[in-house]
Amino acid sequence: MDIFPQSLKGHRVQLGADVEDGEVHWEPVRSLWFSAMALGASVGGALTFSWSAFALFVVTTAFVLLCGHSLGMHRKLIHDSFQCPKWLEYFLVYCGVLVGLSGPLGLLRTHDLRDYAQRQKACHDFFGHRRAPLVDACWQLHCELRLSRPPEILVEARVAADPVYRFLQKTWMLQQLPWALMFFAIGGWGWVFWGVCARVTAGVFGHWLIGYFAHRHGDQAHIVGGASVQGYNVPFAALLTMGECWHNNHHAFPGSAKLGLYKGEWDPGWWMLLALQRIGLAWNLKTPADLPVREELRYVRAVPGVNAGCGQA
Ligand SMILES: [Zn+2]
Ligand SMILES: [Zn+2]
């Protein structure tokens, strides 16, 4: 019998990679970047607070998380779960770069390696967020995992050969600079600390925090058979994460553009895609019904109208 499910065969990480044996090391660029932003946000932000700077933080954070991280980076670049004009794809991915996590290629590789590792029977604790919260925060925000035998990750030419994405990858930190200068010219240091430092800190820290909860606690509608790490839904974060918190659904249907699948699962990213579809700027929005059936997927609980007739776990 084949040891790998069909769904892993098209994965960018090449089959058979060892994702268990490795060591966690301090990663200076990631660590200093996050620390500098957090320092600017906490000290600079406290000293220069104004309601206009706070409003700038809220609006820009919501915008880059919704259009950039959720739509541009995750649902489009990584999963290609909907189609849109190329100029819009570039814009959305550029907004994703402004979140401050990484460049497009770096984020895609990190996402895919983690995704691949979580679907294996065993993987390093780093991939499963298995350690205590403080250790995991230190690992994910300041360190990197160096695998003993790093796997090959084949990124398709659509992304890897694209000059815009290569440029954004090389300059992802610098992309904050024009905005910092503009915010400084309009609102002084307060706008820089809140519009750049606090926004990047909230995006990067929030990404870790939700990632931690989404692999540790919460509601489950599905189980991915054979996977050492399962995803969980984190309902209280639906609006804050633009729908990315429905992570159990995402583990079950990674290629779906719709993350909030069931009643009451608010998904602002999906609402935005529907709005773009209505004005002709997005099409071929994939839902679980458009994806190949996964034999390894089991339903934990009956979901009316969705899994009638499917096997129960
Ligand atoms: Zn996951
Ligand atoms: Zn994903």
* 188 DSSP β-pair partners: none
pLDDT at 71: 98
Residue where the block lists tokens 């814009």: 91
> Quick check: pTM over 0.75?
yes
Q: How far is the CA of 74 from the centre of ligand 2 (A)?
A: 6
- Torsion-angle region of 305 (φ positive above 0: left; ψ -120 to 50: alpha; else: beta): left
Which of helix, strand or coil describes residue 28?
A: helix
User: What is the residue-level pLDDT of the chain in tens, covering all 313 positions?
Assistant: 456 777 788 889 988 788 999 999 999 999 999 999 999 999 999 999 999 999 999 999 999 999 999 999 999 999 999 999 999 999 999 999 999 999 999 999 999 999 999 999 999 999 999 999 999 999 999 999 999 988 899 999 999 999 999 999 999 999 999 999 999 999 999 999 999 999 999 999 999 999 999 999 888 999 999 999 999 999 999 999 999 999 999 999 999 999 999 999 999 999 999 999 999 999 999 999 999 988 899 988 756 555 544 444 3
CA 19 to chain centroid: 20
User: Residue 253 CA: which ligand is closest?
Assistant: 2
Q: How far is the CA of 64 from the centre of ligand 1 (A)?
A: 21
* 143 DSSP β-pair partners: 26
Q: How far is the CA of 298 from the centre of ligand 2 (A)?
A: 19
* 312 DSSP β-pair partners: 299
Q: Print burial letters for 10-29: b (CB count within 10 Å at least 16), e (below 16).
A: ebbbeeebbbbebebeebee
Structure-token pair, residue 279: 């004005």
Exposed/middle/buried for residue 255 (C-beta within 10 Å: 0-12, 13-18, 19+): middle
Which of helix, strand or coil describes residue 146?
A: strand
Where in the chain are the domains? 6-312
User: Residue 81 CA: which ligand is closest?
Assistant: 2
Structure-token pair, residue 94: 């550029």
Q: Are 277 and 250 in contact (CB under 8 A)?
A: no
Q: How far is the CA of 111 from the centre of ligand 1 (A)?
A: 9
pLDDT at 313: 37
How far is the C-alpha of 110 from the C-alpha of 140, rounded, in Å?
A: 11
How far is the C-alpha of 56 from the C-alpha of 58, rounded, in Å?
A: 6
CA end-to-end span of the chain: 21
Structure-token pair, residue 117: 């590792």
How far is the C-alpha of 173 from the C-alpha of 184, rounded, in Å?
A: 17
